[in-house]
Amino acid sequence: MELYATGFNEHQQLISHNVDDHGDITTFQHVHSVPTGRIKVWAALWSATVIESQGQLWHYGCSGSRTMTTSIKGLEVEDVRSVFGDLSGLLGAVGKDGSLYVFYPDPRESMVVRPVFRRHKWLGGKGFAKQGWKLEHVAVADSDDIFKHWVSTSFIALLADHTLLTFGSPLHPSLLARTPTPATIASEPHHVSFLGGVAIRKIASSGWIGAALSMDRDLYIWGGRVGEPNRISALPDAGADECEQVKLVDINGGADILDVAVAMAHISVLTVDGEIWVCGNGEYGQLGLGEGRRGFETEWLKVQGPWEGRDKDLSVEAGGWGTLVVIDHAGKPGS
């Protein structure tokens, strides 16, 4: 298996040890491979990446004020369901039993010799335990320019029954994909009416964008903000009412979607044909279009790369200002 990456790499979060400098990477470059076993990108964040390699969880990039490349203890790979974070770095993980784990990067905080995940009871305060909800994943919208003292301004929670909940700041309902009411306040988790009856298998969120990928391979996105100078055309219109706060995405004439990744201001999508399409901000090379094309792309563009061909199994992740693609040459597309 191989891992390719493009975008902002100032904190060495793209694990590009074979790249001469740690600046921007503008086309997808090979950064990691394993002869046996698997590579999985568990979290791609602004300043950090968490991958699984050779049966271990590894942290690359910045945590707090230091750059840190190390394995993570406290939660075995086989017990992980998802990993999440925001602009501040890695925050935690969700176990296969639905438990929430918090990431402690500093040994002085965790009283151990290396970074660790520790079980936490935070979800009980959000009504999850009371409702009997089993958590699958948490996706965090890390728009730190909304509140300087809040990094994470909205959350998406995917449940074991393939439904999703959103909660967060009441000032920006576009990030919630719903209009808060006295009965469905913003700060508490509630279902998104537009997605009622739609079985969701993956969620993603960052910056001002949220996304949900259905079991039927349809992609839904929401977010954006009024007055932004650049806007992805696939997003709902700014200021849309509740019935228009989520939009079904059409790529290349309605291609089925296998995977989606959302970063601070760009989206990467994998189609059933093994193609990767991108849109949004490319200032740091995160779209993988090359040095000469670093602008904002409002429409979907297909990216060329070593994954092209139908004999490979792919996955895509994105975070901050970077995008990563995992290639399994032995796999089959559509799995």
pLDDT per residue over 14-59, tens digit each?
865 555 556 789 999 998 888 888 899 998 888 889 999 988 899 8
Question: What is the reported pTM?
Answer: 0.83
Query: Which of 168-177, 178-187, 192-201, 303-312 has the least mean pLDDT?
Result: 303-312
pLDDT score, position 250: 96
pLDDT score, position 110: 45
* Mean pLDDT across 242-262: 89
pLDDT score, position 125: 46
With a pLDDT cut of 70, the percent of the chain lying above it is: 78
Strand partners, 287: none
* Mean pLDDT across 89-108: 77
- DSSP, collapsed to helix, strand or coil, labels residue 24 as coil
* Mean pLDDT across 323-328: 92
Q: Is it the case that residue 210 has pLDDT exceeding 50?
A: yes
Q: Of 111, 131, 129, which Cα lies nearest the Cα of 120?
A: 129
CB within 8 A of 65, min separation 6: which ones?
none
pLDDT score, position 137: 63
Q: Is the dihedral of CA 193, 198, 203, 205 positive or negative?
A: negative
Q: Is it the case that residue 216 has pLDDT exceeding 80?
A: yes
